[in-house]
A and B are shown apart, each in its own frame.
Chain A
Amino acid sequence: MNQLNNALTLFFSLLVEALPFLIIGVLFSSALLLFVDERKLIAVVPKQAFLAALAGSLIGFLFPVCECGNVPVARRLITQGAPSAMAIGFLLAAPVVNPVVFWATWIAFRDQPEIVFLRIGGSLLIATIIGYVFSTQADLRPMLQPTVARAMLLPRRSGQAKLGRPELAPLLQSGTFFLGQSEQPIQLDALGAAVVNPDLARPIPERLRLMLDNVVQELRELGGILVIGSAIAAIVQTSIPREVILGLGQGPVTSILAMMILAVVVSICSTVDAFFALSFAAVFTTGSLLAFLVLGPMVDLKNIALLLTVFRGRAIFYLFALAGQLTFLLALLINFYVS
């Protein structure tokens, strides 16, 4: 009975600590969805692949979203012609390299500030490397879902029609066109504008209303996952014998593998995962905590569903395999040489 009460106390303590950060993350991500034009960013990103990957990884500081908010943003970046290195760098790093996550991790690990900086630095490094690797694939389209690949070329006319814009026959518009490439003529100079964030055209009151709708929707989806994640943490903490956890958590390799698997399975949002990891801080090695904090936002079960809206399975496999291996290496280095 006592054990049950301890587990529930742990469960609710995780929830009440994490919920404010989830709300902040969701508010930011909803505001971005409706108020920010990513095209301006793409215009200033360097062309050189490594720098583009680094710039993409750092953009998270302007887009404080967790991994659930960043996939739609990454999708828009891709469709608006962002270099693949930048888009991939952003996709992997933005959930960690941003002020909200920095703050949450700082609060959770204020006694171990090295974890905060290693988390940000490690994520930046891994995202930049993977972004650079993906830059060898200059044309991302074979890796994208057909709908996204098509959106890179074709205007989403149906979407614009809903916004009340007059639907002109394509050739009545001025400009340069490709003919015969697909069913519709493609307007060369309008490719960027064609896939602009459609919500930016709405009037402000409507955007605010949509923002609140989005807040409710994201809170519901991510809140549900947070509850499940907190329950798993509480159960593991109180029901598995301490010797088993200690045995697993103190091994330099087993602890990393265990935390990596946990990160993928639990799918907890990056704005709150630091609190989840904190409950393991007493018994798990620093490297394994870092592995959890770096890998979780890049790769998890929930992400697979999200990423499948953008990429084909093969690309997701590459992303996950690279992220997993690099995280493992990084965590191993920390366990052997730093902590």
Chain B
Amino acid sequence: MNASFRPFKGFSRLQWLLDMAAILAWGWLLVQYWLNGKMNLLLHPNYIWLAYSAGFFLLALGAIKLLQSLRRSRPPAEQLQHMALFPSGLSSLILLATALFGLQFTPQPFASEMALNRGVGETLTLTRSQPQAFRAAIKPESRSLTDWIKTLNVYPEPDAYTGQKVSVEGFTIHLPNLPESHLGIARFVITCCAADAYPVGLPVKLPDGDRTAYPPDKWFRVEGEMITETLDNRRQLVIQAKSLTDIPTPKNPYAS
């Protein structure tokens, strides 16, 4: 052991090591997620800077504390008094273990299974966060899927959009309440982080009338025009697809 560690006795030395390891591991985790793009799957792009800044702060904090410990021969004699739910050693251990696991973990973008679990919808229910932005002047074919949903929220009558051109991107989802000739095209919308991701989507009437050629969770650009159909005992806006083009999963799969 390093000579400067000698006066750190038993538990306090272990505690100190755990603290330093946890802080540095979390700092590295946040910076690494930013560098390799994993952060895109976790956060809204607006807040990614907060996360990597926190990472740099933690790395700096760890470095400063390490330098201090090399200069000083004992751990701080007087700790400010604290109370916590569980012992501090356990707390550091939880943090360290989580960070080490996080470094190995690759988050997956949410897909159709999650969408079915959360209930894909063309309307935003009362309790759901309600996007306020609305651009009415936009040309129909340049509306994204979320633009369509926002437009529908403001004026839900499907007939108002019949015949308008559509070109939207999203992942496929086999909704159980739709016939085999239809599938859903959906995207997750996030306002803050993946925790509040909720799916929005529209039904698509396929040109060849068979959805088995389009497995769930594949990304497509759907082009066609809007029609009104009664599906699942409800009159609703449906995309009559002319073509579905395979596209790669976007780097940032969430819409905002």
Q: Are B47 and A282 in contact (CB under 8 A)?
A: no
Q: Are B95 and A227 in contact (CB under 8 A)?
A: yes
Give per-residue flags for B89-101: 1 if the beta carbon is below 8 A from chain A beta carbons, else 0: 0111011001000
Selected contact of A282 from candidates B76, B83, B85, B127, CB within 8 Å: B127
Task: Tell me, yes or no, whether B164 is within 8 Å of chain A by CB.
Answer: no
Give per-residue flags for B44-61: 1 if the beta carbon is below 8 A from chain A beta carbons, else 0: 000100110110011001
Q: Are B68 and A9 in contact (CB under 8 A)?
A: no
Which residues of B pack against A, CB within 8 Å?
19, 22-23, 26, 30, 33, 39, 41-43, 47, 50-51, 53-54, 57-58, 61, 64-65, 68, 76, 78-86, 88, 90-92, 94-95, 98, 102, 105, 107-108, 110-111, 113-114, 117-119, 125-132, 191-196, 198
| Given A111-B191, A112-B129, A224-B90; A216-B65 close (CB under 8 Å) | yes
Q: Are A13 and B193 in contact (CB under 8 A)?
A: yes
Since A2-B113, A285-B127 are in contact, a sample of 15 more A-B pairs with Cβ atoms closer than 8 Å, ordered by chain A residue number, is A3-B113, A5-B107, A20-B54, A111-B131, A111-B132, A112-B130, A210-B76, A213-B80, A217-B79, A224-B90, A224-B91, A224-B92, A279-B195, A305-B83, A305-B85
Interface size class of A (residues with CB under 8 A): 35 or more
Which residues of A pack against B, CB within 8 Å?
2-3, 5-6, 8-10, 12-17, 19-21, 23, 33, 72, 107-112, 162, 199, 209-210, 212-221, 223-225, 227-228, 233-234, 237-238, 242, 249-250, 267, 275-276, 278-279, 281-286, 301-302, 305-306, 308-309, 339
Bound-complex Cα distance A282 to B54 (A): 28
Selected contact of A214 from candidates B33, B80, B193, CB within 8 Å: B80
Bound-complex Cα distance A282 to B114 (A): 13
Which of A219, A234, A267, A276 has most chain B Cβ within 10 Å?
A: A219
Q: Are A278 and B81 in contact (CB under 8 A)?
A: no
Chain B residues positioned under 8 Å from A109 (CB to CB): 129
Q: List 30 interface pairs A-B (beta carbons < 8 Å), by A numbering.
A: A3-B113, A10-B195, A12-B102, A12-B105, A13-B43, A13-B193, A13-B194, A13-B195, A16-B193, A17-B192, A20-B51, A20-B53, A21-B50, A110-B191, A111-B130, A209-B68, A212-B64, A214-B80, A220-B91, A224-B85, A227-B94, A233-B195, A237-B195, A242-B118, A278-B196, A282-B118, A282-B125, A282-B128, A282-B196, A305-B83
